Amino acid sequence: MNINRIFFNKVGEMMKNGNSGMNMQQGANQLLSGKKLIYISKPTHGGFIYWKCRELIHTVKKKTKRCARYLDINHDFSRAALVGVPKTSYDPKNNIFYIQMDNEEWAGIGSKMMMNISMNILFYLHISFWIYFIYYRMLVNNKNNVFSKWKTNE
């Protein structure tokens, strides 16, 4: 079939050509004998940007659900919440909870190291940041010069 004939025909001829002008006369389609199938789909709303936004929203939903399912299947949060809590025993005298017990002794070497870093490095960084931040805000707002209008020129 000539492509130009498909593109430049009138509406009535388009219905006659249908399905890119291919005859459907083989196998189970012999009942149609010379008739052509026409595939008509419903019109789709929205443009290119609309469909890309829809696809993005669908992808974000799918990926967040996948992440939640991964966490649900592979992580035991009830077990993680009890890190540092000693096991309970049927013997009541073994269930004494010592209030000054080190949780790091139960959590392992990584937790012990992180505790040492937090106490010896991060704590001082935190305090020094807040001192700097308060001093800087005082400079920016001219709060360190608050009593200057009562100064005498003597």
Report yes or no: 63 and 71 within 8 Å, Cβ to Cβ: no
Asked, for residue 4, whether it belongs to a domain, the answer is: yes
What's the domain count of the chain?
1
The one-letter code for the residue type at 15 is: M
Q: How many CB atoms lie within 10 A of CB 107?
A: 14
pLDDT of residue 128: 98
Length of the chain (residues): 154
Residue 8 in contact with residue 21, Cβ under 8 Å? no
Dist CA 52 CA 60 (whole Å): 12
Residue at 87 is within a domain: no
Which of the pair, 38 or 61, is modelled with greater confidence?
61
pLDDT digit string (tens) for 14-57?
A: 445 444 545 444 555 555 556 666 777 667 788 889 999 999 99
The secondary structure of 40-52 as a DSSP string is: --PPPPS-HHHHH
Task: Tell me if 102 is assigned to some domain.
Answer: no
What pLDDT score does 108 carry? 75
Q: Residue 87 gets which letter from DSSP?
A: P
pLDDT of residue 4: 59
Q: Which residue has the higher pLDDT, 110 or 132?
A: 132
Tokens representing 47 are 């443009």
Range of the domain at 16: 1-40
Instruction: Read off the pLDDT of each residue in 110-119 and give the average, rounded to a whole number.
Output: 87
Confidence label for 136 from pLDDT (cuts 50, 70 and 90): very high
pLDDT at 7 over 70: no
Angle, alpha carbons 77-82-87 (nearest 5°): 130
The CA distance from 34 to 24, in Å, is: 7
- Enter the tokens of residue 43: 């019109």
State residue 62's pLDDT score: 97
Q: Looking at per-residue confidence, does 115 or 102 come out higher?
A: 115
What pLDDT was estimated at residue 93?
77
pLDDT at 115: 86
Is residue 114 assigned to a domain? no
Question: ∠ at Cα 85 (82, 91), nearest 5°?
Answer: 120
Q: Is residue 127 part of a domain?
A: no
Report pLDDT for 120: 94
| Integer CA distances (angstroms), 105 to 100, 113, 119, in order | 12, 11, 16
Please check whether residue 2 lies inside any domain of the structure. Answer: yes
Is residue 53 in some structural domain? Answer: no
Residues 18/38, Cβ–Cβ less than 8 Å: yes
CB neighbour class for 23 (10 Å; exposed up to 12, middle 13-18, buried from 19): middle
- Does residue 147 belong to any structural domain of this protein? no
